[in-house]
Structure 1
Amino acid sequence: MTGAGNDWSVVRLPESMAAKVTVMNGCWLWTGSLNNKGYGQVGVGGRVKLAHRVAYELLIGPIPEGLQLDHVRARGCEHKNCVNPSHLEPVTCQVNNSRTAAATKTHCVNGHPLSGTNLIVKRRTSGGEMRNCRICNLDSARRLREKKGAVRRYKTDARARALAGADS
């Protein structure tokens, strides 16, 4: 972390911001307005800005060009509405995305392993990756075909069953 130590305190925030912060287990939880993704938002100069970015810039300094702030789990922060600058780190978009819970999952919601032949990795237009379970993907396609009235069985059903047996 940059800056002169971790001597930050909520009282160093402007009074209008500090009044909307509750300290809990080291996190400075924003109790003001949240956006649809759960991040705090605050009005600054007639514009709505993300509260954690405003707090970082006020207490640390400008966020380097091309970087975004990551709420670092290794520092005990798992709250999108946390504005504590010691829980934030400027990183590239790729690094930020690689630290998400979705990027570090080892199994899908149905318990299938997200590895080997069962892992589908797709590139997003933003440059990130999307990781999907092949078994669940094939099962979803089968259910969609059945819903549409297609009764014909496809080779993918046998493939899904084979994958389920091989990976379990």
Structure 2
Amino acid sequence: MNKNLAALIAATTIILSSSAFAAPTAIQSGSAIASTGTGSCAVLGDSVKLNLSKGVNGAYDCSEANNAINVGACHTAGSRGTTLTCAQVGMSSGTNPVAVYNNPGCTAANVGQDITVTTPSYRGFRASTTGGSVGAQSLSANCSASTALELVNFQ
């Protein structure tokens, strides 16, 4: 799964100047994410095809305005826990972007440290071309195509 995320992020090297935002989109295993056309991700230099493992749901969100793409994935057999390791998972959109962390309780000061979340939560993983690292992120429910979309919203 990390190889697939890295491949998609590596494919995002073109700088574009449009200001359109796309909606978070589920990744359909084996179907190409087009770089041009309806429903495409113009941030990509070329179309990218990801093959998700059994039980894995993935999603992506493109922002031409930020020249960025967020990618996330989770597994339906994922575990629940009350601790989460803080990670920077990207940068916010807008004219003065700030670091985005995988939980509201995370800051630059506690990246890499475990925090306790109040309610056990299912986990997914998120990465962004705006920087940071691949980091675990809490989901509102067990992994599904719709909860995978929670991982990739631009903030």
TM-score by length of structure 2 reads: 0.25
From the CA coordinates, give the structure whose radius of gyration is larger: 1
Pick 1 or 2: higher relative contact order, CA cutoff 8 A, min separation 6: 2
> Which structure has more strand as a fraction of its residues?
2
